């Protein structure tokens, strides 16, 4: 786990959360990246970033219409009070004994809990048994950009693994996707077509 938190929790339920972070705070995760939230009871919650947005405010509206210097722009970005907001879909959790569960989290994290970006080791741990059943939470959620999110997540899995292991992980994940979407042929073809672009 990256030791520098990417942000703090704004709101949450058992399916996901929103977090706020500054642009300059650590390395900001990309769309589809896995994040982890350590809880006080030693549980950890895993999620996927599915939306990143920056809200405007009165000052930004005024600055956008003015002729301003580069220094003022950089100052506004560094000292801005309105955070970058990210939405995260939960995909599983880890209990205090280190067992990973690909099910809905038992309870949400609390506001202002710290959130960290998963490193390659954590991505491998979460997907270590070749089980990708957690993708059902993504594939069956109509509020998520399913095709793009699954593709971005699989790209991260491939980057965290190497050689034969990466190929096996990709094959196992695609078998799971096909099984879950067998009754939704158009969506299945959209996912497979998008995934083919990362190979």
pLDDT tens column, 7-17: 999 999 999 99
Whether residue 196 is predicted with pLDDT greater than 80 in this model: the reply is: yes
Of 125 and 21, the structure prediction assigns the larger pLDDT to 125
Phi and psi angles of residue 186, each rounded to the nearest 5 degrees, phi first: -60, -45
Whole-angstrom Cα distance, residue 146 to residue 140? 8
For residue 60, name the pLDDT band (cuts at 50, 70, 90). Answer: low
- Nearest to 169, CA basis, from 199, 136, 138: 199
Whole-model pTM? 0.86
pLDDT cut 70: percent of the chain above it: 84
Residue 15: half-sphere exposure toward Cβ, Cα within 13 Å: 10
Going from N- to C-terminal start, the domains of the chain cover 1-119, 127-199
For residue 130, name the pLDDT band (cuts at 50, 70, 90). Answer: confident
Whether residue 152 is predicted with pLDDT greater than 80 in this model: the reply is: yes
Specify whether the CB–CB gap between 42 and 64 falls below 8 A: no
Query: Which DSSP string corresponds to 153-189?
Result: HHHHHHHHS-HHHHHHHHHHHHHHHHHHTTT-HHHHH
Specify whether the CB–CB gap between 113 and 90 falls below 8 A: no
């Amino acid at each position: 786990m990256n030791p520098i938190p990417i942000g703090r929790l704004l709101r949450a339920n058992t399916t996901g959360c929103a977090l706020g972070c500054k642009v300059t705070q650590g390395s900001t995760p990309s769309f589809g990246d896995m994040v982890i939230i350590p809880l006080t009871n030693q549980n950890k919650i895993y999620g996927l970033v599915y939306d990143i947005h920056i809200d405007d405010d009165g000052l930004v509206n005024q600055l956008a219409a003015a002729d301003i210097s580069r220094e003022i722009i950089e100052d506004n970005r560094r000292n801005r009070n309105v955070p970058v907001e990210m939405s995260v879909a939960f995909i599983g959790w880890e209990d205090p004994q280190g067992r990973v569960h690909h099910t809905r989290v038992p309870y949400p994290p609390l506001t202002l809990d710290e959130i960290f970006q998963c490193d390659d080791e954590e991505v491998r741990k979460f997907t270590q048994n070749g089980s990708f059943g957690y993708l059902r939470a993504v594939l069956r959620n109509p509020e998520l950009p399913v095709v793009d999110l699954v593709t971005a997540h699989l790209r991260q899995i491939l980057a965290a693994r190497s050689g034969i292991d990466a190929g096996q992980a990709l094959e196992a994940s695609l078998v799971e996707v096909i099984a879950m979407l067998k009754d939704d042929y158009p969506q299945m073809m959209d996912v497979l077509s998008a995934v083919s672009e990362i190979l």
